[in-house]
Amino acid sequence: MTKKLEGKTAVVTGASKGIGAAIARDLAAAGARVVVNYASSKEGAEKVVADIVAKGGKAVAVHGDMSKAADVAHLFAETKKSYGGLDILVNNAGIYKFAPLEEVTEELFHSQFNLNVLGLLMATKEAVKLFGDKGGSVINISSTVTRITPPHSSVYSATKGAVDAITGVLAKELGPRKIRVNAINPGLIATEGTHVGGMSEGDMKGWIEATAPLGRIGQVDDIAPTAVYLASDDSKYMTGQTLFVSGGL
Ligand code: NAP
């Protein structure tokens, strides 16, 4: 049986762990060649690549800090060198630092905006060049925080609010070039990042179990299939959408 993404090439930013790693694995399982980007976890990225290759898929790991324009350009140059073109971009690389208003600083603001917003714009700009005339699919990993606006998340929620806005804007701007732009807005998902931040075990987990209609926090395999859907022709008439994959939260 032909796989849904056979013959396609995908870049997944921040794919050495967490949601990005799961998306990279699922895109590869659907037949895509995958560029697994990482910033600091070379070992994690190489493990994702090895797992994909062991299952008969194709992937390469490429370093790049997505908040730096030169690194972003390098990632897409390496993509062209390895696979010749591009069809799918998953803008997943992102950081979340919660803090009450009193602790909001320039550093807290710029570190999150430079990656979550500027990095996403720079990566999309480079990807569009590689999509060429055939078009492509851009999938932005936003967050449910844009709807629930939890306390202490002013800067992080603002970055993801910007991601939702950019998703709508670029869908309009790039639609005529056959490029679809959609977002996935996950609820709280158990990942290395949420574990280190104490979110997937603490009060927030309890609140979600009590509040979300599906009564549990998410796992990375709750999110990755939606990325495959948005990458594939199954969603070919869908653009500018924000899909909340959050247990109904
Ligand atoms: P995670 O476990 O902390 O993993 C983050 C990934 O991003 C890692 O692969 C990391 O690479 C990479 N990364 C960090 N800084 C980077 C940079 N400057 N350049 C390139 N890559 C970088 O995170 P996660 O929980 O999977 O979250 C992934 C995305 O989902 C983020 O955009 C986050 O905002 C969003 N999200 C997460 C949740 C959740 O509950 N987990 C909910 C909603 C939205 P290295 O390890 O190599 O540094």
Judge whether residue 133 has pLDDT over 90: yes
Judge whether residue 211 has pLDDT over 70: yes
Pocket-testing residue among 46, 72, 89, 92, ligand 1, by greatest number of atoms within 8 A of Cβ: 92
Give the Cβ contact number of residue 69 at 10 Å. Answer: 15
Distance 5 CA to ligand 1 centre (A): 24
Banded model confidence at residue 1, pLDDT cuts 50, 70, 90: low
Pocket-testing residue among 12, 13, 16, 89, ligand 1, by greatest number of atoms within 8 A of Cβ: 16
Banded model confidence at residue 80, pLDDT cuts 50, 70, 90: very high
Task: Return the closest-CA partner of residue 241 out of 186, 176, 184.
Answer: 184
Distance 18 CA to ligand 1 centre (A): 7
Distance 14 CA to ligand 1 centre (A): 6
pLDDT of residue 130: 98
Q: How far apart are CA 73 and CA 108, in angstroms?
A: 25
Contact 187, 246 (CB under 8 A): yes
Judge whether residue 76 has pLDDT over 90: yes
Pocket of ligand 1 (CB under 6 A): 13-20, 37-41, 44, 65-67, 92-96, 115, 141, 143, 186, 188-189, 191-194
Banded model confidence at residue 32, pLDDT cuts 50, 70, 90: very high
pLDDT of residue 201: 85
Banded model confidence at residue 60, pLDDT cuts 50, 70, 90: very high
For the segment 238-242, the average pLDDT, to the nearest whole number, is 98
Query: pLDDT digits over 45-55, tens only?
Result: 999 999 999 99
Ligand 1 atom 17: residue of nearest CA: 65
Distance 108 CA to ligand 1 centre (A): 16
Q: How far apart are CA 86 and CA 34, in angstroms?
A: 10
Contact 26, 225 (CB under 8 A): yes
Lowest model confidence (mean pLDDT) among 7-21, 61-75, 144-158, 189-203: 189-203
For the segment 6-29, the average pLDDT, to the nearest whole number, is 98
Mean pLDDT of all residues in the chain? 97
Domain 9-188+220-242 top-level CATH class: alpha beta
The residues carrying an active-site annotation are 156
Task: Return the closest-CA partner of residue 38 out of 9, 71, 70.
Answer: 71
Q: What's at 165, amino acid-wise?
A: A
Structure tokens at 53: 């290759």
Which ligand 1 atom sits nearest the alpha carbon of residue 71?
19
- Ranges of each domain in the chain: 9-188+220-242
3-state helix, strand, coil in the chain (%, to 5): 50, 15, 30
pLDDT of residue 199: 84
Which ligand 1 atom sits nearest the alpha carbon of residue 94?
32
